[in-house]
Structure 1
């Protein structure tokens, strides 16, 4: 074997893999993409059959700076995370990237609305959790604690904005090798905007139905070739379409600065502040006779405007440092401090005690006042190499983090649970209201005091990982990854219904990802992959440590595995990505109640989701773009231990889900767009007695661009005002999705 060669190679040059926020990464990526496209469309170009060992003598061209607008569109070629050591075409795993253009054209102003643009994701609700927080489920498993911002975990129940996002990446299937603890269904990486090597200003102003007013500013200033600053600002205020008295306001600001952009050493300092002030909404109660939400007006709101509230705030400071050791080797360090808080009292429309059957609803409440503080550091070494036989694109990393959270509640006077005893209206101090005609403005005068209940938690994680894409030949490659985690959660709680608890859980676990890729043509791949995940007790960290108890604190982590076979193709002159995959996700030792009796949990359960998915993104023609897909999932609770739900479906897993968005440039200055979303019925509970029905939703858009620097966009969302439910809970209620809304947006660019 020859000595390790870290010199430049013509295969997957390092500059393509630099962060999008550097001028070097932008310019050289454009250059290499242009070269690759030219080669793929030249009739005389044919795939090279030379072995990988011979490519080290190939001609290496000097970098070419391409001046002009950065390419835009729905098709994204690479993940922003360097843990994916190959282009998405050559990555043996399902990864959906939602670009900024799709987010803007669809008028998505919350992360929940972004998730609706792709199938395979559903939204979860939690009775004791947080109303309106981001709680996605990927392929049937909760991913609330597996949301990342620029590759670092972002725990803490919260709502995140879209104003500072460049793209959203959804990694599907168990992936603890990529993301660490949890990640049973997958993970989500939010890629934020960073300074660019060009000066521009873009502002937008939106007005619409339901008193909607929204304004954003995105300003980037290139101080010189090495320094640039960027500022993103958001202000939003409005009501929720189709819901009485439900309001939402948001404010955000995100400044950042990059230095050394054209040099071997680069640094970016980014700050972010985002806050919301909303009316929390738990939707409509179930009808226990039908098991579906009761048939009442869609706008019925059972909360109280003079009592219910929800305020959130999140702040982050991130420092990213990079240094090119050689042309093919880079070291990066990312340090982040973040703090988030959430404070709310929300009405839970309770269907117990026969209330719904009697035409009444008890206004139960859920409450929380909590904050989460995170300090994290990540160091990575990434590059390309050739060992004399094979080409390597690799990354090694170490990560350390500490998450601290404190949670308190409120004691609220809600009277007698049985409304038939107290009556509705004034007789119950408005703690009971009419099922068919609730009044959110009722003059409730009950007491609110701080609760004695509390829960404090601290989670520490130290991890090391490695990924490598090994190019055996131009047609065959192997992708592998390992991650070793040392994890510990400590919890103290008291004053709640569960009594006092003081305990901890800790473990060390190894996860891996492996896949093989065959490329019959340069623009297509066929792959098979296998991956694992580990979900220790209290794995959510922060507030998610609420699932840690005396019953499970001594258990080993739950283990999940995924099997996936798929294919990816770049068609239409490589401007359109088409993907397909068959998958199985299997949790083989789920926590269940001990069949032998008692309250202890054991790892005897089993859950499984089988399915397949299709996806497409990009241009069919120069004027016609499309983004969407279809997912089929068959879920089963294979073994529920002492429970009685064996053979039932897993909650919130639709058998069929479909989403499509498409735009067409009718004229040079006119674009028409439209989308459709379908989801089949879903159960809300493991007993499969609560459910929400299937639905279709249709959206439309028209955009007029009278000048190069001005555009007017009209969005009509949920055109037919479909009444559907996006978050079925296990008991009591299902939340209602927004009704029809019309938004007019003006976008100015300078």
Structure 2
């Protein structure tokens, strides 16, 4: 049994800096009298708890980010922490697999202009641009692996005060495996069905009294279960050096390299590819009412096309996706005294996303009426270079009998994305029912001569403070100001006039966070929280869904605010965390098209929801992790219906105009926002050496578009796991995902296609610790 007691060192709240010993220290304790500067100060009592580390493997007591100035039980906001143990037992190798364990998150799809990669929707809002690595924003479109990750924090609800621009639904922070004192290592080797082969190595060595080196390595070569011809090859390496551990000044240097070589998979088409209204052509927007497309009546009901789940419509001789990420991080921190710590972190990241993929059908009527469909090519070749620097002051002090725990800082970043895709020639048709990925193709793939560079600079200044007003009352405050500037410049490589317009947007905005916490008991809290977020045009820097365009370049940031009432409790001797919250989120100036040439922030969107969560041990043998989320989403005001075009001026007589029936979408459900979602992962130690467990996951119907005409059905999925410990050093784990081989769809695109989830797959992993 490990004896846990409170400490006064300001960095004890940040376990990723000071090792696992601090992980639960301040989360189950509060400042004691030793921190008082004057008599009569209002302080909370020390709480000493005996707990076995295995009993709290699913439960985290603090978030990794230093901006959270209180333990999770006293943080007035919904935060889900996916611990290392949950990641390992579920065999979560990708970010999408890791996030399956927490409800309220869906994944969207990308094409070319909106790139393929991780695209989570948190509480109804696109969060593709809101990833963080060790608290620093991680830009660019990527597909992230978990080999160098030991904790995932999901902040739910608007949190621009914490994360800056774009965090309207929430954000995701990945904590990496940093070097620490002591010697340990772990090697895993896994094999399984669908040619699954994956190996990792994690080696940590102390190289002096105050220094350590750690390295993580990954190799994987696998197919995707239930999908023909879809395979992946991944390699990663991440060395990390830590100096000055256990001393007032600490330095950490980390490098990271990850590369993929996958067959891109755009799933299967919807069964209603035909638009309701006819398109029109001309140099000016039509002034007449739209006419109904005569083929519209031939559409299906909007769900996935009824074909075999394994159907792959791509071409093996043409399609590819290769990505590469390289980064270097330098972190220096110094304890000014026993109350304050100064930290500076710098990261440089260069990433590339390079692919040609088949979009099955591309809204072609033949999907409904014919036997073949065209293999439309979508492509991208983008390179992102980003550098970010953050300086923080962390500490605690007391004034007038009120204790403050603060985090203040300044963040500077610059990100440049160079995007120049491919010109793909040649045609190919696929049999709708029995596509052949080896069909002949005689076209060409060449880099486009037209491209765009998008440069984004940001400056953020923030301050957070948790004020202990009395034994029962705490006040959590956060304030941030952001200066955001983005610029897009078109270019050509053949001397021709660039087709991409030069655009820019400059925005300044404030974000707020205020929460009142009442503690009826030391181990629980009831809170009320108010938070805001801002979404400036071009937040994705040309490498995501929200890029700068001719119609949004002059708009003020979209504004979002949320009100959340919740309660959090640590029960069963601090082994089990239970949370519950009701929330209301409103975007009051959503972007909508008001005429063919103008977009305005006049729309309104609203979500009312309930979220329940649980994490930890019910008994010494029984662990649980998961929750339930209900979201009632509504497009309250969608603006007028208008004719729109994707062409850029000057328009020609051949310009194509489509009718955007905004008004008809009023009252509809948000895209990518399920009404109900549930997740449960649970394990039970049936014998000292044998642990069995499994997962149950539910997602209700999800729409892909604002018109609610394209959708994927609800589903249940069940997983299983068994681990046998041969001895203290060797164990074997069997995972079976999608036990009943359920055919379901895990992503709904706004048009064209749906993502097909993997079928049943069994994976046997050997774990060797030393």
Report the TM-score when normalising by structure 2: 0.89
1:6 aligns with none
CA distance in 1, matches of 2:44, 2:106: 49
Q: Gaps (5+ residues) in structure 1?
A: 1-8, 40-46, 416-430
Match of 2:349 among 325, 332, 338: 338
1:600 and 2:598 aligned: yes
- 1:433 CA drift (Å): 1.1
Report the counterpart of residue 142 of structure 1 in structure 2.
126
Are positions 1:454 and 2:451 aligned together?
yes
> Structure 2 CA distance, aligned partners of 1:469 and 1:73?
27
Partner of 2:473: 476
Is the CA contact 2:426–2:441 (under 8 Å) kept in the aligned structure 1?
Answer: no
What are the superposed Cα offsets for residues 414-461 of structure 1, whole Å, 9 maximum, x if unpaired? 44xxxxxxxxxxxxxxx1111000001112111212212312100000
| 1:673 alignment counterpart | 693
SS of equivalent residue, structure 2 residue 544: helix
CA–CA separation in structure 2 for the residues paired with 1:735 and 1:55 = 61
Q: Report what 1:700 is aligned to.
A: 720
Query: Structure 1 pair 10/203, CA: closer, same or farther in 2 (3 Å)?
Result: closer
Pairing of 1:337-416 with structure 2 (within 5 A): 337-350=348-361, 352-357=363-368, 358-415=370-427
Residues 1:663 and 2:683 aligned together: yes
Alpha-carbon deviation of 1:361?
1.5
Q: Does 1:732 align with 2:757?
A: no
Task: Please say if residues 205 and 745 of structure 1, whose CA atoms lie closer than 8 Å, have aligned partners that are also in contact.
Answer: yes
Deviation at 1:33, TM superposition (A): 7.2
Preserved CA contact (<8 Å) 1:134 1:157: yes
1:317 alignment counterpart: 328
Query: Offset at 1:464?
Result: 0.5
Deviations for 1:487-540, whole angstroms, at most 9, x for unmatched residues? Answer: 100001368999431010001111010000000000110000010011011012
Q: Which residue of 2 aligns with 1:634?
A: 632
SS of residue matched to 1:290: coil
Where in structure 2 are the equivalents of 1:98-117 lying within 5 Å? 98-117=82-101
Kept after mapping to 2: 8 A contact 1:52/1:471: no
User: What do the CA deviations read for 1:562-618 (whole angstroms, capped 9, x no partner)?
Assistant: 110000001111100000000111110011112xx3320111001111100100000
Deviation by residue 1:661-683 (Cα, 9 ceiling, x = unmatched): 00000000000011100000111
**Aligned residues of 2:487 and 2:503 also touching (Cα < 8 A):** yes
Matches within 5 A, 1:87-106: 87-106=71-90
> What CA distance in whole angstroms lies between the structure 1 residues aligned with 2:567 and 2:636?
29
Q: Matches of 1:659 and 1:57 in 2, distance apart?
A: 40
The structure 1 residue matched to 2:441, chosen from 444, 448, 466, is 444
Cα 1:545–1:726 shift into 2, 3 Å: closer
1:454-488 deviation line (CA, Å, top 9, x unaligned): 12100000110000000000110000000001110
- Partner of 1:20: helix, strand, or coil? helix
1:582 aligns to what?
Answer: 582
1:123-169 per-position Cα deviation (integer Å, ceiling 9, x unaligned): 00123356751100000100000001011111111111100001000
Q: Counterpart of 1:738 in 2: which secondary structure?
A: coil
Secondary structure of 2:16's aligned partner: coil
The reply on whether 1:128 has 2:124 as its aligned counterpart is: no
State the match for 2:13 in structure 1: 17
Seen in structure 2, the aligned counterparts of structure 1 residues 560 and 130 have a Cα distance that, compared at 3 Å, is: closer
Task: State whether residues 350 and 384 of structure 2, in contact with CA within 8 Å, keep that contact through their aligned partners in structure 1.
Answer: yes
- Alignment size in residue pairs: 710
Shift of 1:107: 1.0
- Residue equivalent to 2:205: 221
**Structure 1 SS opposite 2:520:** strand
Task: Quickly say closer, same or farther: Cα 1:27–1:660, change in 2 above 3 A.
Answer: closer
Partners of 2:596 and 2:241 lie apart in 1 by 57
Map 1:534-573 to 2 at 5 A: 534-544=534-544, 547-573=547-573
Residues 379-405 of structure 1: per-residue CA shift (max 9 Å, x gap)? 000101001310000011001000001
Q: Tell me the distance in 2 between the aligned counterparts of 1:545 and 1:113.
A: 22
| 2:706 paired residue number | 686
- Which residue in the other structure is 2:485 paired with? 488
- Unaligned stretches of 5+ residues in structure 2: 273-299, 641-661
Distance in 1, matches of 2:364 and 2:6, equals 71
Evaluate the alpha carbon distance shift between residue 372 and residue 58 of structure 1 in structure 2; reply closer, same or farther with a 3 A threshold. Answer: closer
The CA deviation at 1:550 is 1.7
Change (3 A) 1:713 1:676: same
Distance 1:581 1:352 in 2: 41
Distance 1:337 1:127 in 2: 27
Paired residue secondary structure (1:688): coil
Residues in 1 aligned to 2:437 and 2:500: alpha-carbon distance in whole angstroms? 36
Conserved 8 A contact 2:416-2:454:
yes
In structure 1, the partner of 2:286 is: none
Whether contact under 8 Å (1:52, 1:472) holds in the other structure is: no
Q: How far, CA to CA, are the matches of 1:476 and 1:310 in structure 2?
A: 53
Matched, 1:531 2:531: yes
CA distance in structure 2 between the partners assigned to 1:184 and 1:693 by the alignment = 26
After superposition, the Cα gap between the structure-2 partners of 1:19 and 1:701, relative to the gap in structure 1 and judged at 3 Å, is closer
Task: Give the TM-score, by structure 1 length.
Answer: 0.91
Q: CA deviation at 1:546?
A: 6.0
SS of 2:485's partner is strand
Structure 1: distance between partners of 2:383 and 2:45: 52
Does residue 231 (structure 1) correspond to residue 194 (structure 2)? The answer is: no
CA contact (8 A) 1:372 1:542 kept: no
Give secondary structure in 2 for the equivalent of 1:16: helix
1:465 equivalent to 2:462? Answer yes
Quick check: 2:166–2:533 contact (8 Å CA) kept in 1? Answer: yes
Matched residue, 2:643: none
CA root-mean-square deviation: 2.6
1:648 aligned to 2:668? yes
Q: Decide whether aligned partners of structure 1 residues 69 and 137 sit closer, same or farther in structure 2, where only a CA change above 3 A counts.
A: closer
3-state secondary structure, aligned to 1:543: coil
Partner of residue 240, structure 2: 256
